[in-house]
Structure 1
Amino acid sequence: MPDFLQRFDRSSLTLRVAFGVTLLLVIGGLLVSIAAFAYGREAARSAYDRLLLGAANDIASSIAILDGRAVLELPVSAFELLALAPDDRIGYRIIGPDGSTLTGYDEIIVPSERGNSRDRFFDGTFFGEDARFAIVTKRFAERTLNGTMQVIVGQTLKAREGMAYEITRQAVYVLIISGFAMACLAAVVVWSVLRPLKTIAGGLRDRDPHDLTPLDTAVPKETAVMIKALNGFMARLDRQMNSMRHLISDTAHQLRTPVAALRAQADLLADEADPERREKIAERIQSRSAGLGRLLDQLLSQALVVHRGDSARREEVDLRDIALEVFEEGDHRLLFPDKDVSLNVGEVPLPVLADAPSLSEALKNLLNNALKYGEAPIVVGAAKEGGSLCIYAQDAGGGPDAEALSLLGERFSNDTPTRQSGSGLGLAIAHSVACAFGGTLDLANLEQGGFRAALVFKAAHDGQSQ
């Protein structure tokens, strides 16, 4: 059974619909057939009971009293009514007031009377065959005859059963025709429903492999959900591919000069015989290698945050925890022991929907920039400003001028202060993290003096989308 279900799950939608329609028709057909047969039996019983009752009334109305005796002449009309069921046997019995049979078949057994109804019906047998009987009573109050006479008329059930089967057969014919019509309609509906899928498949098949622009196909609302999901997936894939292109471009752009410089310094070192000059060259090689290592770290950090921005699950993060984590790691104490760094966080939680490692990486880059180009004291903190929440790195320096400030955050900008001894990737990484989680990178000179770089987000309870 599980294998059958697995095969069924992998089957086509057309086969599923066909199976569903067939199952519906079979079950519905059985129910309709049972209902039609029950209705046919009831209709046949009602119709033929009326014939029996009419014949019994005709016979009862023909009974007369003559010289204190009941005189009966069986009416032809009564038998004409019963002749409407030509294949059935007919039986009758007339019982006098004293319970004796005046005429008819003594084999007809009348059950004990129940109720006071003048006319009633009962089921019995007639010479070994199932039969249906009607009883009509007639009251006489004559001087010579006083009492109630009973007229019993019955017939076998062949006509009734035939009528019930005929009604059932007609209902089944109608059911077959309507079922065929439903199957045809289902086929048309399935074809109509699957047509948009073929259109989508054709559009995807004819696309250039590098074309990741959104699909613009007119489809029904139900199929539009799949189009939306496909477009979202292609947008994420496009961002991933762009990040890969940027990583390759950044790496080629940034590594070419440092690697060439290292090679040149290594060639000079190999040809230099003066120990003092060799020592200076070795120091330059060491400095260049350290700079190259920092550059590689930034390139990999940028690739990491771009990847996590698309793939990492958004969770509620307290910005105070991010600031505390970066401060307690203490890298600044080793790299810049001469600069004072302090922590500023409040007691009120600052929840945002984001990815904690990405936020930490972004804040580390902001702190490193402040340590390299700013003036002590330097503050790392988290705060709430109006309806927004932020984490920031702040220094006491004057900050860049307005023109340079407008260029901060652009990769490899030659006019930024970071270009003096770095790649300019630190702020670009912070900007990518802010955009990935619905925030902004805010760079500003403070009125009270100093320069602040901050990641600004909406609070988690303000409806930031996941």
Structure 2
Amino acid sequence: MPDLIRRLEMTSLTARVALGVAVLLVIGGVIVSIAAFAYGREAARSAFDRLLLGAAHDIASAITVQDGKPVIELPVSAFELLAFAPDDRIGYRIIGPDGTTLTGYEEIALPENRRDLRDGYFDGAFFGEPARYAIVSRRLAERTLNGTIRVIVGQTVLARNSMAYDITRKALYVLAVSGLAMILLAVVVVRSVLTPLERIAGSLSARDPHDLTPMDTDVPRETAVMINALNGFMARLDRQMNSMRHLISDTAHQLRTPVAALRAQADLFSDEVDLSRKEKIVERIQTRSAGLGRLLDQMLSQALVIHRGDSARRERVDLRDIALDVFEEGDHAVLNPEMDVVLDIGENPVEMLADAPSLKEALKNLLSNALKHGRAPVRIGASLNDGKAVIWVEDAGEGPDRQTLDELGSRFNRGGLARQASSGLGLAIAHSVAVSFDGELVLERTDRERFRAALLFEAAPVRAA
């Protein structure tokens, strides 16, 4: 059964709809057949019962009394009524007041529940064949004869069954024709419904491989859902491609100057014979290597943040855990061992929906900026402020210059290595994380004359107790 379901799911929509309609028609055909046969049998019974009753009344009305005895002359009209069913056998029985059979077939037996011989109908047998009987009573009140004579007229049921089958057959013919029309109509409707999808497929096939612009949403409402999802996917893919192109371009540009400087210092070192100058060259090489390493770390960090901002699944994150993880990793002890870092978190959760690794990268870069460009003491923490989940870094410095703030959020500028290795790139990374999760990066002076870099996000709904 599961294999059959999988095969059906892999077939075309047209075939699946046609098959579904066919199954419904088969089920409906069975139901209609039963209903039509029941209706046909009831209609045939009603029609032929009237004929039997009419024949019985004709015979009963023809009974007379002569010399104290009933005289029976069977009217031709009674049997002419029953001649409408030429293939059926006819039987009759006339019972006198004393219960004896005056004429007819004594083999016609009365059912046990009709001992009182009330007028009406009953089913029985006529020489082994199923038959239907009508019984009519006539009260005789003569001086010489007083009592009730009962006339029983019966007929086999071949014509009745034939009529019921004929009604059922005609109903099935109508159902078959209408069912075929429904299947054809369903196929036409499905084909017309799939026309927008075929247009979309043709449009995608004809597109340039590098064209990731949104598709036209002027389509039926049901198809627009798919188009919007496809446009969203292409927008995310376009951002990823742009990020990759920018990373490659910026990496090539940013690494060209420091690598050339390292090469020049290495050439100077190989040509220099004075030991004191060689030591100075080695110090410059070490300084440039360290700066280059920090630049590479930040560039890779930004690439990671941009990638995860589009692809990572958003989960409930407690910003206190982010601050605690960054503090316990102890990067500040390596970057600036002489500067104290204080962790400031409360007891209440500070939760939001985001990607934890991206938040850690942002906080690390804010902390790195504070350690390199701020003044002690440095504090990191998380808190809830007016429905906002906030994670922040504070120091006693003045903060970045106006040019760095103006360029915040843009891709790497074409400035020198020294400026790029400073706070601008770290703030750009934090800004990218804020934008990715519908937040903002706020740089401000606090009431205590301290500089604070904070990431503000919408707080997650409080969990039910």
Q: Same fold (TM over 0.5)?
A: yes
- CA 1:418–1:440: 2 relative to 1, 3 Å: farther
Structure 1 residue matching 2:456: 3-state secondary structure:
strand
Structure 2 residue matching 1:422: 3-state secondary structure:
helix
- CA 1:116–1:220: 2 relative to 1, 3 Å: farther
Question: Which moves more between the two structures, 2-11 or 66-75?
Answer: 2-11
Residue 54 of structure 2 aligns with an amino acid whose one-letter code is G
Q: Partners of 1:40 and 1:132 in 2: how far apart?
A: 16
User: Which deviations, in whole Å up to 9, do the C-alpha atoms of 1:232-283 show, x marking residues without a partner?
Assistant: 2112211211111121122112101011101111111111111111111111
Q: Partners of 2:418 and 2:214 in 1: how far apart?
A: 37
Q: Partners of 1:380 and 1:126 in 2: how far apart?
A: 106
In the other structure, the counterpart of 1:350 is 350
**Deviation of residue 166 (structure 1)?**
1.2
Residue 50 of structure 1 aligns with an amino acid whose one-letter code is R
What does 1:186-205 correspond to in 2, within 5 Å?
186-205=186-205
What does 1:184-223 correspond to in 2, within 5 Å?
184-223=184-223
In the other structure, the counterpart of 2:293 is 293
Contact 2:408 2:431 in 1 (8 A): no
Structure 2 residue matching 1:460: 3-state secondary structure:
coil
Query: Are 1:146 and 2:138 an aligned pair?
Result: no
In the other structure, the counterpart of 1:321 is 321
In the other structure, the counterpart of 2:374 is 374
In the other structure, the counterpart of 1:110 is 110
Identity rate, percent: 70
Q: Partners of 2:213 and 2:349 in 1: how far apart?
A: 40
Contact 2:37 2:168 in 1 (8 A): yes
User: Which deviations, in whole Å up to 9, do the C-alpha atoms of 1:368-419 show, x marking residues without a partner?
Assistant: 1111111112111112222212111111122345555333444444789971
**Deviation of residue 216 (structure 1)?**
1.4
**Deviation of residue 3 (structure 1)?**
4.3
**Deviation of residue 425 (structure 1)?**
1.8
What does 1:4-153 correspond to in 2, within 5 Å?
4-114=4-114, 118-153=118-153
Q: Partners of 2:316 and 2:379 in 1: how far apart?
A: 24
Any stretches of 5+ residues in structure 1 without a counterpart? none
What does 1:242-261 correspond to in 2, within 5 Å?
242-261=242-261
In the other structure, the counterpart of 1:270 is 270
Question: Which moves more between the two structures, 185-194 or 122-131?
Answer: 122-131
Q: Partners of 2:420 and 2:61 in 1: how far apart?
A: 128
**Deviation of residue 185 (structure 1)?**
0.9
**Deviation of residue 462 (structure 1)?**
8.3
In the other structure, the counterpart of 1:389 is 389
Q: Partners of 2:361 and 2:93 in 1: how far apart?
A: 108
Any stretches of 5+ residues in structure 2 without a counterpart? none
Please give the root-mean-square deviation of Cα atoms over the aligned residues, in Å: 2.2
Q: Partners of 1:133 and 1:357 in 2: how far apart?
A: 91
Query: Are 1:178 and 2:159 an aligned pair?
Result: no
Contact 2:122 2:132 in 1 (8 A): yes
TM-score with structure 2 setting the length: 0.94
Structure 2 residue matching 1:424: 3-state secondary structure:
helix
**Deviation of residue 140 (structure 1)?**
2.5
Contact 1:254 1:423 in 2 (8 A): no
Structure 2 residue matching 1:304: 3-state secondary structure:
helix
The number of equivalent residue pairs is 463
Contact 1:91 1:104 in 2 (8 A): yes
Question: Which moves more between the two structures, 257-266 or 105-114?
Answer: 105-114
Q: Partners of 2:374 and 2:343 in 1: how far apart?
A: 16
Query: Are 1:359 and 2:359 an aligned pair?
Result: yes
- CA 1:69–1:78: 2 relative to 1, 3 Å: same
Structure 1 residue matching 2:457: 3-state secondary structure:
strand
